Structure 1
Amino acid sequence: MTTMTRQGRPVGELLRDWRRTRGMSQLDLSIEAGVSARHLSFVETGRSRPSPELILRLAEQLDMPLAERNTMLLAAGYAPAYPSRELNDPELAPVRAAVRQILDGHGPYPAVLVDQHWHLVEANPAVALFTAGAEPHLLTPPINVLRLSLHPDGMAPRILNLPEWRAHLLKRLHQQAVTTNDPALYELHEELRGYPSGDDVAVPISDDAASRVVIPLRYRHGDQELSFFSTTTLFGTPLDVTVSGLAVEAFFPADPATTATLQALAKPAAGTG
């Protein structure tokens, strides 16, 4: 009898869906995982129950998120292999300390910690530059930083190159949704696609050095134009579901004027206390 998940999905069906998502044939996957194509076929059709070791080996070759690997194990009747702790769990104290060090050390430039669905987990004080002027409904937890960025009540009216920044974020989100096969990310992508694109606003194209290398975020602050590029930091070889979904998004000044402005904005805060 085939073991089912609570949603009624057998392990073989889940495996087949992930294999197809990755664009692999049964033969491709069997070779990569070191298992016979016949046995893999039996697993997918429910004629054979895979061992937990085989499930994890197949999941590794399919580059499945840790949470989905647990789902596969549960579907086959096994215990999850990866814990999913809350971020305030004592065992994750070193992770929290590392994140805090990254965020604080990045000042006076903005940096945020987000989860796998782009919800804001932590931020440094410089992020107030981006949240200033946003409507309260976008700043009520859980705050989704992509929604905050592209919503017309959020940062969007102050993003001078909104069409290209919007296209960049949507492409990145779609790639993440495809990679993780996460319905929540597909839903977020569809929501964000419905926001105004800003294509009707003509803004001169910047010719600074950063614009010729990466897509910058050109942001209006008062009567000034600030320019940023961003980097993403992930945890290497995570073994916890929560940690595997965390990312630090750090923004760097793309020109000397932005550097000077952010350093000047930070001086009053540095002198208080």
Structure 2
Amino acid sequence: MQTEFGSILKEWRKVRRFSQLDLSLEADMSARHLSFLESGRSNPSRAMVLRLSEALQLPRPTANQALHAAGFAAIYPSLPEDAPELAPVHQAIATMLDHHDPYPGIAVDRHWNVVRSNKGAEMLLAFADPGETINMMDILIRSAEMELIENWDEVAMLSLARLRTEILELGGDEKLSALMQRVADLDRVKNVDLGSINLNQAVIPTILRVGENRLSLFSTIAQFGSVQDTQAGETRIELMFPMDDETIQFFER
């Protein structure tokens, strides 16, 4: 009879598109042993759960779930936002964003909610209601009928691709899936002429219209590699860089 751990293992093997042989080679174990773990005929050791979690690149919360299902304690903490242990992480985020001024920089959580921003970004996000949780995908959706993003079609297609990738990496996520569906259901997305979008450019910027200013920005996204906390470890920092002199001058003013 298949165990809870066996079910998790089999589900994630399929998510990662591994055969049992593929995964056994990746985890340096026999395919027979892997088959027994999936079917529930064998129980894993703690070391084996961790090895398989690494081979499958399980998200930290899922790795905790797999450990619990196998009868072991979780290893990745889930601390409150104000936990003293996370103070260095918050300081690192603040330092990166502040040093990036006057150009826009934001920190977002797994679901693209803005958790922190610098002055350059706050200027661009000034239309949001005070106290409102700002979601970058929600901004994309709301701007579909506006002239805020000149190359909206390109940005929307790239955003959909990123959402699909993130959902696959996480093995599914209801909130991200709902955001992706909201974007995909927009009439403007359905009417996009894919042949008119050049995805072979070296850099695909986001081109914003702010008053009389045409701002061209591209982004780099950073994520913590050694933060073990299940939530803080998923925080991403997006730093936006100018593509031309007009954009540089706008933010420096």
In the other structure, the counterpart of 1:73 is 67
Partner Cα separation in structure 1 for residue 151 and residue 187 of structure 2: 13
1:133 and 2:123 are equivalent in the alignment: no
Change (3 A) 1:14 1:168: same
Runs of 4 or more consecutive aligned structure 1 residues displaced over 3 Å after TM superposition: 198-202
- Any idea what the Cα deviations from partners look like across 1:90-147, whole Å, max 9, x if unmatched? 001111111100010000011111111111111112112332335x49x722x32211
- Any idea what the Cα deviations from partners look like across 1:6-54, whole Å, max 9, x if unmatched? xxxx111111111111111111111221222111111111122212211
1:252 and 2:235 are equivalent in the alignment: no
Given that 1:70 and 1:82 are in contact with CA atoms closer than 8 Å, whether structure 2 keeps it comes out as yes
Letter in 1 for 2:245: P
In the other structure, the counterpart of 1:178 is 168
In the other structure, the counterpart of 1:101 is 95
Letter in 2 for 1:197: R
CA positional deviation for 1:198: 6.6
Letter in 1 for 2:165: Q
Find 1:193's aligned residue among 157, 179, 184: 184
In the other structure, the counterpart of 2:156 is 166
Letter in 2 for 1:242: Q
Moved more, 53-62 or 123-132: 123-132
1:56 and 2:46 are equivalent in the alignment: no
1:23 and 2:17 are equivalent in the alignment: yes
In the other structure, the counterpart of 2:76 is 82
Partner Cα separation in structure 2 for residue 195 and residue 131 of structure 1: 22
CA positional deviation for 1:199: 8.1
- Any idea what the Cα deviations from partners look like across 1:238-266, whole Å, max 9, x if unmatched? 322122211101111110100001111xx
1:149 and 2:143 are equivalent in the alignment: no
CA positional deviation for 1:87: 2.9
Given that 2:183 and 2:189 are in contact with CA atoms closer than 8 Å, whether structure 1 keeps it comes out as no
In the other structure, the counterpart of 2:229 is 240
CA positional deviation for 1:212: 4.3
Partner Cα separation in structure 2 for residue 46 and residue 217 of structure 1: 50
Given that 1:227 and 1:254 are in contact with CA atoms closer than 8 Å, whether structure 2 keeps it comes out as yes
Given that 1:86 and 1:242 are in contact with CA atoms closer than 8 Å, whether structure 2 keeps it comes out as no
Partner Cα separation in structure 2 for residue 21 and residue 29 of structure 1: 12
Kindly, what percent of the aligned residue pairs are identical?
A: 38
1:32 and 2:26 are equivalent in the alignment: yes
Letter in 2 for 1:160: E
Secondary structure, in 3 states, of the residue corresponding to 1:158? coil
CA positional deviation for 1:81: 1.0
Secondary structure, in 3 states, of the residue corresponding to 1:257? helix
Partner Cα separation in structure 2 for residue 2 and residue 181 of structure 1: 20
CA positional deviation for 1:2: 6.2
In the other structure, the counterpart of 1:42 is 36
Letter in 1 for 2:182: E
Task: List gaps (5 residues or longer) in structure 1.
Answer: 4-9, 206-210, 265-273
Given that 1:114 and 1:120 are in contact with CA atoms closer than 8 Å, whether structure 2 keeps it comes out as yes
CA positional deviation for 1:197: 2.7
Partner Cα separation in structure 1 for residue 188 and residue 68 of structure 2: 42
Partner Cα separation in structure 1 for residue 25 and residue 189 of structure 2: 48
Partner Cα separation in structure 2 for residue 113 and residue 130 of structure 1: 14
Aligned residue pair count: 247
Give me the TM-score of the superposition, normalised by structure 1: 0.83
Give me the TM-score of the superposition, normalised by structure 2: 0.89
